[in-house]
Amino acid sequence: MTLAAISFVLLKTVVISVKKCKDFESSGQWYVTTENNGKQETTIFDAVMVCSGHHTDPYYPLESYPGIKQFKGKYFHSREYKNSDDYKGKRVVIVGMGNSAADIAVELSRTASQVFLSTRRGAWVISRVFDHGYPWDICFDTRFETFKRNSLLPMSIVSSLTEKKMNEWFCHANFGLQPVDRTQFKEPLLNDELPSRITCGFVLIKPPVSDFTETGVKFNDGSIEENIDVVIFATGYSFYFPFLDESVIKMEKNTVVLYKHIIPPTLEKPTLGIIGLIQPLGPIMPTSEMQARWLTRVFKGLCPFPPLTVVMDDIRKKHNSFTKRFGTTRENRLQVDFVEYVDELASDIGAKPNIFSMFLSDPLLAMALFFGPCTPTHFRLVGPGKWSPAREMILTTWDRIIKPTKTRVVNKGESTLSFVTKVLGALCVLAVIVAMFMYKY
Ligand SMILES: Cc1cc2nc3c(=O)[nH]c(=O)nc-3n(C[C@H](O)[C@H](O)[C@H](O)COP(=O)(O)OP(=O)(O)OC[C@H]3O[C@@H](n4cnc5c(N)ncnc54)[C@H](O)[C@@H]3O)c2cc1C
Ligand SMILES: NC(=O)c1ccc[n+]([C@@H]2O[C@H](COP(=O)([O-])OP(=O)(O)OC[C@H]3O[C@@H](n4cnc5c(N)ncnc54)[C@H](OP(=O)(O)O)[C@@H]3O)[C@@H](O)[C@H]2O)c1
């Protein structure tokens, strides 16, 4: 952050309320009340971006667990977990199968005498060292892969290809990890060590907890683990906007209705938006960056905000499509497809390159945009925030990603372009052209 920007930051200051000004229908302005050191202050702002996160309020469903009050061991939410120091020789049950549960299980498995990891739905576990050693999102979040998954292939084929890919590293069924619903996408667990800790017996995968005794935990397959010292509920988070009135944002079952996952649809003026209330199948930072670029342009009137009927229609259609793809569970309600989502926002603000016409003028770049990882630089080639080094950056993406690990220079040997590679290359080019027609690039 630059020095100039820091001067606008109010540290140790809590936003108490954000309310529409009396003349909101014409001005679109907001009264923002903040508190610092017990002193409250109200200021008028032309627009508000809410960036309060959605991983700060623990979801702690104790009421679902009979007997928990009688349980004599320690129990707490994963948010309170700090390190493994106090767990030497302990028998620990972890409830949940998100990334928090997996990380804590692996860490505790080095000090605790036994870790039990209880899951209702299971999960795909993938390695940080994905195809050819690249990170998984770099391989997964390309336009080609997105097009293949969402437009080209039927859902049943996508599901079986995904399943096959996920089981290449190890068989999830043999490890008790296989997701219950394999047709729906759920955020994968990025964990290199979990399978090996299971193999060594330090982590045991268990079905859902049914109830607690004074000293033990019962599971819904009838098994009981006795002498449990600690239970950690790694059951995720809820989100709230205590500073916003219900008339601005209405929460229902940990869900809110937002246009493009950003703006409450019924505002008379689109001058307030939420940034980061989203769970992309890919990186959150570039997603939030694109949301911020989109929202500031809506605030400035440079990106037209459609009438309410269009807005509600868009929300309905997206809701139906997301429900089919990601399901309706609590954790998946904010899920979106990374490339589709950032492309859509970039299109709205004129920052999405036209890959089809670029294929004719700059085929190398077009190929990188279609087959390569979708990075924020893709949205710096044209439109607002255009940046001249962007082309070079995009063409060198793969090399720059792997550079930190190439600390010893080795001769990989000459690669010979085989006939098969050439044929595959030609087929890919053909696929690009067809895809661009179908996907309207
Ligand atoms: C254990 C854990 C590990 C994670 N690891 C990763 C990871 O490896 N990679 C990844 O991409 N994501 C990870 N995440 C998700 C991560 O939380 C988000 O990617 C990231 O923090 C989102 O940033 P944000 O700025 O939107 O929200 P946050 O980082 O949550 O920031 C929101 C800020 O708003 C402040 N705030 C809230 N209400 C008010 C108010 N009324 N007044 C003033 N300030 C307020 C909060 O204090 C907080 O500082 C992890 C989450 C958890 C819980
Ligand atoms: N290393 C990392 O990158 C890292 C580490 C930690 C967190 N994070 C991120 O931070 C975010 C939060 O992660 P998280 O793991 O804390 O939460 P999460 O992803 O929401 O997972 C919570 C898990 O709790 C279980 N659960 C929910 N309600 C339950 C209930 N009523 N009873 C029993 N189990 C219940 C579910 O597991 P079941 O499937 O078994 O139902 C669910 O998968 C995620 O985006 C995550 O990727 C990242």
Q: Identify the pLDDT of residue 144.
A: 95
Give the Å distance between the CA of 145 and the centre of ligand 2: 26
Return the minimum-mean-pLDDT range out of 3-7, 145-149, 244-248.
Answer: 3-7
Q: Are 119 and 105 in contact (CB under 8 A)?
A: no
Q: Identify the pLDDT of residue 416.
A: 61
Q: Identify the pLDDT of residue 155.
A: 87
Nearest atom within ligand 1 for CA of residue 16: 41
pLDDT tens for each residue of 406-419: 999 888 765 666 66
Give the Å distance between the CA of 254 and the centre of ligand 2: 14
User: Which ligand does the CA of 49 lie closest to?
Assistant: 1
pLDDT tens for each residue of 72-124: 999 999 999 999 999 999 999 999 999 999 999 999 999 999 999 999 999 99
Give the Å distance between the CA of 55 and the centre of ligand 1: 6
Q: Read off the pTM.
A: 0.91
Cβ of residue 276 lying under 6 Å from some atom of ligand 1: yes
In this structure, the residue with its CA closest to atom 9 of ligand 2 is 99
Statement: residue 440 has pLDDT above 60: no
Q: Looking at the chain, how many residues does it have?
A: 441
In this structure, the residue with its CA closest to atom 17 of ligand 2 is 236
User: Which ligand does the CA of 285 lie closest to?
Assistant: 1
Cβ of residue 51 lying under 6 Å from some atom of ligand 1: yes
Give the Å distance between the CA of 400 and the centre of ligand 2: 31
Q: Identify the pLDDT of residue 249.
A: 92
Give the Å distance between the CA of 234 and the centre of ligand 2: 6
- Of 36, 52, 244, the residue with max ligand 1 atoms within 8 A of its CB, to mutate for a pocket test, comes to 52
Q: Are 31 and 52 in contact (CB under 8 A)?
A: no
Give the Å distance between the CA of 98 and the centre of ligand 2: 3
Statement: residue 241 has pLDDT above 80: yes
Cβ of residue 56 lying under 6 Å from some atom of ligand 1: yes
Cβ of residue 55 lying under 6 Å from some atom of ligand 1: yes
Return the minimum-mean-pLDDT range out of 6-20, 119-133, 330-344, 405-419.
Answer: 405-419
Cβ of residue 332 lying under 6 Å from some atom of ligand 2: no
Give the Å distance between the CA of 255 and the centre of ligand 2: 16
Q: Identify the pLDDT of residue 433.
A: 63
Return the minimum-mean-pLDDT range out of 24-28, 182-186, 394-398.
Answer: 182-186
- Of 60, 192, 241, 284, the residue with max ligand 1 atoms within 8 A of its CB, to mutate for a pocket test, comes to 284
Q: Cβ of 126: how many Cβ atoms within 10 Å?
A: 18
Statement: residue 426 has pLDDT above 60: yes
Q: Identify the pLDDT of residue 366.
A: 96
Nearest to 175 by CA among 187, 183, 167, 164: 167
Residue 235: burial class (beta carbons within 10 Å; 0-12, 13-18, 19+): buried
User: Which ligand does the CA of 80 lie closest to?
Assistant: 1
Statement: residue 326 has pLDDT above 80: no
Cβ of residue 234 lying under 6 Å from some atom of ligand 2: yes
Average pLDDT over residues 139-164: 91
Cβ of residue 240 lying under 6 Å from some atom of ligand 1: no
Give the Å distance between the CA of 232 and the centre of ligand 1: 21
Cβ of residue 161 lying under 6 Å from some atom of ligand 1: no
- In one-letter notation, the amino acid at residue 178 is Q
Q: Identify the pLDDT of residue 143.
A: 96
Give the Å distance between the CA of 56 and the centre of ligand 1: 7
Nearest atom within ligand 1 for CA of residue 15: 42
Give the Å distance between the CA of 217 and the centre of ligand 2: 20
Q: Are 151 and 439 in contact (CB under 8 A)?
A: yes
Q: Are 160 and 106 in contact (CB under 8 A)?
A: no
Cβ of residue 61 lying under 6 Å from some atom of ligand 2: yes
- Output the CA–CA distances (angstroms, integers) from residue 234 to 83, 98, 106, 253, in the order listed: 14, 7, 13, 19
Statement: residue 299 has pLDDT above 60: yes
Nearest atom within ligand 2 for CA of residue 120: 40
pLDDT tens for each residue of 21-48: 999 999 999 999 999 999 999 999 999 9
pLDDT tens for each residue of 187-196: 889 999 999 9
Give the Å distance between the CA of 55 and the centre of ligand 2: 10
Statement: residue 354 has pLDDT above 70: yes
Statement: residue 58 has pLDDT above 70: yes
